[in-house]
Amino acid sequence: MEDPLSHNRQVWTIFLDAATDPQSPMPPEMRSNMIGLCRFVINQCMRLLFEPDPKKLDLMIEINQHIAAGLRGREGSDLPKAEPRKPEMAAS
């Protein structure tokens, strides 16, 4: 689980850098929301590395799916919900 979480953290760090850039064209409210979401996801990645929790992993997957859908111009309501993980899968 370390490699995917590390990669996810790197992607969200890029989003955070873009949102905190003074030259960002994002409206202030959107920037603030994006910064908060980035911090949440980065922190969750770190927590999951030290304390794996399948339910929190499912939340991370859903957030990533919705952000990806938004970047593709889809609203995300047509995305399937992440299947709950079994506890024994989280330890592998």
pLDDT at 63: 92
Tokens 């850098």 sit on residue: 17
Q: Between these two residues, 4 and 55, which has the higher pLDDT value?
A: 4
pLDDT at 15: 95
Q: How far apart are CA 48 and CA 42, in angstroms?
A: 10
pLDDT at 76: 52
Q: How far apart are CA 24 and CA 16, in angstroms?
A: 11
Look up residue 69 and give its amino acid: A
Q: Between these two residues, 63 and 92, which has the higher pLDDT value?
A: 63
Provide the token pair at 28. Answer: 């202030």
Tell me the pLDDT tens digit for each residue of 57-88. 888 999 999 999 988 886 655 555 555 555 44
Tell me the pLDDT tens digit for each residue of 13-64. 999 999 999 999 999 999 999 999 999 999 999 999 999 888 888 889 999 9
Q: Which residues contact 19 (CB under 8 A, 6 or more apart)?
A: 26, 31, 34, 35, 38
How many distinct helices (H) and strands (E) make up the chain?
4, 0
